[in-house]
Amino acid sequence: MDVINRTFAIDGLNYDMDLAGPEDGPLVLLLHGFPQSKHAWRHELPALAAAGYRAVAPNQRGYSPGARPLTIADYAVKLLVGDIFAFADALGADRFHLVGHDWGGALSWLAAAKTPERLLTLSVLSRPHPDAFARALDETEGQAHRSRHHKAFLNAETEQLLLADDARRFREMLASHNCPKAAVAVYLQLLGDEAALGAALNWYRAAGGNLTAQSDRTASGLGPVTVPTLYIWGDEDGSVGPEAAHWTADYVTGPYTFHRLEGVGHFITDEQPNAVQEPLLRHLAQTSGV
């Protein structure tokens, strides 16, 4: 099934998106994390399209060259969550399936809690429910160490540090999580200059080192997610420990499936291209009937 690229003008910004599948199929919107791009979903788009879905993966705010506003405030979590629904509106979908990895997963949890009536299903890779993540930061010894990069990225010199010496640290960062060299090269092609990488890092800076992306949360937390949810976690994830992964079940009151991948790290779709497709398609089919 062919994948096409289109640019959508939304609220004065131009977003590059990869699209596959029938235009009248149920929308599956797939959100990447840092420091990836829509390329992270290159294997999932054709599989979803072949199953009858309209699969769409955007380069999000700061990643699309035409969607890089200049101020840190333009990358506030509230705006990033708003982009999700703006994407769906531009694609003509009132209700849709939402899939997110890493930062895209954090936004997906927030979107599901804030506006559950718009979602058919939620699927998240790697990133646990924000309340489970916050609990792990408070109650375990390891999660803060695993998440130390969140605060490190607030350093104004991070772009220079990651891109110096032919982007040695950028490459090593992804290689340490078993991300293949070919994928790293694609991500560097998009984020390989300081302005582009800085725009991506602004997600962290706008959150101010808030590890649990607590926009729209109360003092007691985000609260339970009610939509049918699939959570996929690799047990060698260097960023998310087992406690946060397993505790995620405590914060979903809708139908919930936890899919553990043995021997797989954080960048699941890059490391194991076929590991996500079967559980994801099974989860979507339970609601959409496709």
So where are the chain's domains? 3-288
Above 70 in pLDDT, residue 219?
Answer: no
**Residue-wise pLDDT tens digits, 106-115:** 999 999 999 9
**Residue-wise pLDDT tens digits, 147-156:** 777 777 888 8
Above 70 in pLDDT, residue 264?
Answer: yes
Of residues 246, 251, 249, the one with CA closest to residue 233: 246
Measured at the alpha carbon of residue 51, what is the angle toward residues 45 and 52, in degrees to the nearest 5?
A: 90
Strands 119-125 and 229-234: parallel
**Angle, helices 194-207/181-191, rounded to nearest 10 degrees:** 90
Tell me the C-alpha distance between 47 and 24, whole Å. 16
pLDDT at 154: 86
pTM as predicted: 0.94
**Residue-wise pLDDT tens digits, 2-12:** 899 999 999 99
CATH superfamily placement of domain 3-288: Alpha/Beta hydrolase fold, catalytic domain (3.40.50.1820)
Minimum mean pLDDT among 16-25, 115-124, 149-158, 213-222: which range?
213-222
- Percentage of the chain lying above the pLDDT 90 cut: 84
User: Phi, psi at residue 151, to the nearest 5°?
Assistant: -80, -35
Those residues with Cβ within 8 angstroms of residue 144's Cβ, 6 or more apart along the chain or in another chain: 137
pLDDT at 93: 98
The mean pLDDT value of the chain amounts to: 93
Can you tell me which residue has the tokens 């399936």?
97
